[in-house]
Structure 1
Amino acid sequence: MPEQAGAVPDSQHPGLVGRLPGPVRGLALLARFDRPIGWQLLFWPGAWGVALAGGVFTRWPLLLWLALGSVAMRGAGCTYNDIVDRDLDAQVARTRGRPIPGGLVSVRAAWGWLLVLGLIGLVVLLQLHPLAAAVAIASLAPVAAYPFMKRITWWPQAWLGLVFSWAALVGWVEVAGGFGWPVALLYAGSVAWVIGYDTIYALQDREDDALVGVRSSALRLGRQVRGGLALFYLAAVTLWAGALWLARADPLALVALTPAAGHLAWQVATLRPDDGAVALARFRSNRFTGLLVFLACVVVGS
């Protein structure tokens, strides 16, 4: 698979966002509108839940609402994270140019922007049935706790996995009307997947994180990072296979997952832990993993 071009540090803002007026550009950068990979990774587990529950064709507008919610809530999460981490960001080369430490957006304006994004998320929430809406609201507590995890555990990526996989529960419950073992395994597999890809992302910051005292799975795994990544990805594929099998006990369920498994194996095989550009490209390639798992869920859930 070819390398992805355009990998840039957070201090740069190419394209349309870079041409916006200063204050507006600051808000767009705060929500990471210039970096769609984040909301895409947040969206895919929700789409999996909808597809595996059999709602991809009958409830297709739900996918659009989940996409809007992913953009808004990822933006809100990043804004909140930057408010909390503004002092740490100022000490890390890749993040010291972010809007708050860079002086482009005040903390007060960031709180106001967070409120606006939260209101957009509320509009999406109102489209859901009460149980699914309650599941979505329950995510707010782990979201609020996430920025502090890097200060107290070597595995903040595991907490991020809980947060970034939550939409799988929302999508499934909205279509199926309740919980079940397939979505439990789907969610657990997504958590393992997120730990894997966010460990890859954290490779870019290992030196700075060690200097400022920030913890991460990339630092904890050290030289064993590729082996650890392989184990997390293997766990993800195994759990997803279980979810698909419970939804449809047919060998086709396992065959449908083969492309996603192959893509994750390619990431592990071609990762160069000491090359930040390669790490960022492998991280970003997980948008395709999300698509491949979605297609597998469509096959099984249809």
Structure 2
Amino acid sequence: MPPDTHADIVPDSERRGLIGALPRPMRPYASLMRLDRPIGVWLLFWPCAWSVALAGVGVRGIALILWLGLGAFAMRSAGCVYNDIVDRNLDARVERTRLRPLASGRVPLKGAWALLVALSLIGLVVLLQLQRTAQIMALASLALVAAYPFMKRITWWPQAWLGLVFSWGALVGWPAVRGEMELPALLLWAGSVFWVIGYDTIYALQDREDDALVGVKSSALALGSKARAGVALFYLLALALWSAAIWQVRAEMLAVAALIPVAVHLVWQVATLRQEDGTDALYKFRSNRFAGLLMFLACLVVGASV
């Protein structure tokens, strides 16, 4: 019997869990969407939820948060597909990404484009549920999203561009509740940008050797041995801007104190980060799902108290 060469290019994640339960032809497409890695959906969703909560939730609050959650899933999945389309040749040269469906040839390019269109249509359905100002803000993010995969070829700080993209929900949630853009949303977004730069620098610590070999740039490479100090600075700026956002909503120190739990969590990340340990870096990166929850609870408490 000839060797099963196909098995050599199928990652374990397609043989178990949610993806493993799907029909075999669907599994590579599920991997293309990172269905086995929901952390990206959470990280895209949280700034949306923060903004809705800090704005006071409003009469459509729960439904709005659910719609934005669906939008985060669709657009993060679409972003992964688009990123893999752009990076398919580069991914084939990097150990961690060579088994991705496009890089390994398990999904044809036309199939990837079809999936991208389908996910974009789901995003359009979500867009139609929002108020006009929120719709305009959501559409304004598309240019940033389209440019992101190219940033690691252009700048040492692609994490900053990702921060602009992954934080954009803060500029959508607020006008979806209030009907207009206001300063707290801008401050919340700016703080989220630095939060994203911080946690994505941690994520990039895993790939420093491969990135250097193939010529890909990252903040982890730019910072070198000072990566921990850099992450600490980014998180400090995030907390300062989030404090300013909360102060705009309720000008009391007690309201700002709602940030203490998320601040403690971010301090823990930095204090225990092992820069040379890729496994630890991935664990600390994923822990930001919990940081996002703590921030949401802070915004919910403050927004509900006004």
TM exceeding 0.5: yes
Matched, 1:251 2:253: yes
Give, in whole Å, the separation in 1 of the partners of 2:58 and 2:269.
Answer: 28
TM-score, normalization: structure 2?
0.94
Per-residue CA deviations over 1:251-286 (Å, capped at 9, x if unaligned) read 221110000000000000011011011000000000
Aligned to 1:3: none
Aligned to 1:189: 191
The offset of 1:129, in angstroms, is 1.1
From 37, 40, 57, the equivalent of 1:38 is 40
Give, in whole Å, the separation in 2 of the partners of 1:263 and 1:232.
Answer: 14
Letter in 2 for 1:264: L
- Cα pair 1:79 1:110 within 8 Å, conserved: yes
- Cα pair 2:28 2:107 within 8 Å, conserved: yes
- Cα pair 2:58 2:177 within 8 Å, conserved: no
From 49, 52, 77, the equivalent of 1:50 is 52
Letter in 2 for 1:265: V
The offset of 1:102, in angstroms, is 1.5
From 239, 259, 274, the equivalent of 1:272 is 274
- Cα pair 2:11 2:99 within 8 Å, conserved: yes
Per-residue CA deviations over 1:216-238 (Å, capped at 9, x if unaligned) read 00000000000000000000001
Give, in whole Å, the separation in 1 of the partners of 2:255 and 2:152.
Answer: 37
Letter in 2 for 1:104: R
Aligned to 1:154: 156
- Cα pair 2:188 2:241 within 8 Å, conserved: yes
Give, in whole Å, the separation in 1 of the partners of 2:192 and 2:156.
Answer: 19
- Equivalent residue runs for 1:1-302 within 5 Å: 11-13=11-13, 14-55=16-57, 58-302=60-304
The offset of 1:177, in angstroms, is 1.2
Instruction: Tell me which moved more, 20-29 or 138-147.
Output: 20-29
Per-residue CA deviations over 1:189-240 (Å, capped at 9, x if unaligned) read 0000000000011111000000000000000000000000000000000100
TM-score, normalization: structure 1?
0.95
Number of residue pairs the alignment of both structures matches: 293
Structure 2: state its 5+ residue gaps. Answer: 1-9
Aligned to 2:4: none
The offset of 1:56, in angstroms, is 6.1
- Cα pair 1:11 1:96 within 8 Å, conserved: no
Per-residue CA deviations over 1:64-103 (Å, capped at 9, x if unaligned) read 0000000000000000000000011001111000011112
The offset of 1:22, in angstroms, is 3.2
Structure 1: state its 5+ residue gaps. Answer: 1-9
Aligned to 1:5: none
- Cα pair 2:144 2:165 within 8 Å, conserved: yes
Aligned to 1:6: none
- Cα pair 1:22 1:104 within 8 Å, conserved: no
Q: Percent identity?
A: 66
Per-residue CA deviations over 1:20-64 (Å, capped at 9, x if unaligned) read 233311111111111110000000000000001001675210000
